[in-house]
Chain A
Amino acid sequence: MRHATPDDHPGTDGPSLSRAVLVRRALAAAGVVGGGAAVALVADEAGTAPSPDRDLRILRFLLGLEQVQQQFYEQAVAAAALNGELRRFADIVARHEREHVRTLEQVVGPSSSPPTVRPGDAIRDPQAFAATALTLEEATAAAYIGQGAHLTTERITTAARIVSVEARHAAWIRDILGRLPAPDAADPALRPAQATDRIERLGIVE
């Protein structure tokens, strides 16, 4: 369970950093592991104005999500244990996530500590694969929705070109699972710690 963090003063680096430490401790206390320092630093900069520095933090966080997806789907493709439409899904979505990673790396540079994904049975068992993919796509889309408005003008486009594709992935896997592909008239947002939490619960990120 995530601890509530106090709202911070906008602007200066000092309060933002101590806030990041606070959040990192809260996340550690909550048992959220992995993801790298970038995740904790992003967590909840309420009241901070968009800036190139903040862009980097946000995009590094989103890059982390894309990397988890890329690794998951690429390992699914390599294992070649899925059949039919799920195999096609993994093939196509792996390619897309790879492109997303490439695009974000062009902006923020390659990450110093990319996440390590050990998917276990989730790349072999169709039900486990579909459920994992669903969580990944929905959490990623919601994370973009949560952060999009905090980006500088130029980077909003970077995010907007990607988030709709994540939503299409989500609709596809939902339909395969027999769930409503478009459950809401307006899709929900997640804060970084919430998105990370959902993904951590999958148990596939070391």
Chain B
Amino acid sequence: MSSSTDGVTSVPEPLTLGDIDRDEAVLEGIAGLYGETRAQLLRKAAFGGGALLAALGAAPPAAAASRDLAILNFDLVFEYLQSSFYVSAVEAGTVSRMAPDKRRWARVLGSHELAHVQILKKVLGDRAVRKPFFDFRGVNESEDAFTRTAVAMEDLTTALLAGQAPRLQDRNLVAAVFSLLTTEARHAAWARRLAGATPVVSPFDEPKSISEVRQVVRRTRFIAARPRTRSRNRPSFTG
């Protein structure tokens, strides 16, 4: 039997994307970039709990400030995604196997994303969502897949932040978002040049809505179900 007293932590029934996603926006996801066939929409993909739902769902209309919190928390999930992706690539040895110039790019990108997590956590204080559980499905193990995915994430973060900037009530947050989105764009241009591609192709970066971004992230299946228990397999009692 699970209970909180015997070393087993049970996680409450996770909320599913189907519960909160009502949009049908269709976008090419990150999956398309590394050649995976378009994944089934994962309506059953589970999230880590109420805090993440609050971040992703719509804030009550009467509370503009809490919409700011929801926006920032969704941004935080994205920064967690990017920083964790980088860390997982380091752990897989992918970064250390890169050529020096490339490695420098990866390390700077990683340090910036980690800094972004810290910035947003500081702004949100105890309202910050918990870091989701990620499963990068081997994409962190191939330099090519890691690079293409990282670039896609940078572009997507730029588009997300540009989309959210006008929705923020607190003008200080708008200013902060501008200075974060430009950094993401720099990382992407840098990576493209390293890959021998034209660093900047379009005169404008089009913003994306949260629901569009959510769709893309869903396709990657990177945000995974949190394990239900953290049991150490100790029996509740002996004898």
Point out residues on A near B: beta carbons under 8 Å: 50, 88, 92-93, 95-96, 99-100, 103, 141, 144-146, 148-150, 153-154, 156-157, 159-172, 175, 180-182, 184-189
Contacts and interface: CB of A to CB of B under 8 A. Distances in A.
B207 A160 contact: yes
Interface stretch (B39-47, B49-57, B108-116, B230-238): B108-116
Given A157-B162, A185-B111, A185-B112, A96 B200 contact: yes
B206 interface: yes
B23 to A, nearest CB: 20
Nearest to B162: A160
Given A157-B166, A168-B189, A186 B207 contact: no
A175 B166 contact: no
Contacts of A148: 165, 174-175, 178
Task: Classify the secondary structure of B's interface with A.
Answer: helix
12 contacts: A157-B207, A160-B162, A163-B182, A164-B162, A165-B205, A166-B182, A168-B189, A171-B190, A172-B189, A181-B187, A182-B183, A187-B182
B174 A149 contact: yes
B106 to A, nearest CB: 12
Interface residues of B, number: 40
A188 B186 CA distance: 13
Contacts of B3: none
A149 B178 contact: yes
Contact of A188 (B112, B174, B179): B179
Contacts, number: 138
A202 to B, nearest CB: 21
B227 to A, nearest CB: 32
B199 interface: yes
B33 interface: no
Question: Which of B116, B166, B172 is most buried by chain A, counting CB atoms within 10 A of its CB?
Answer: B166
Interface-central residue, B158, B179, B183, by most chain A CB under 10 Å: B179
A99 B182 contact: no
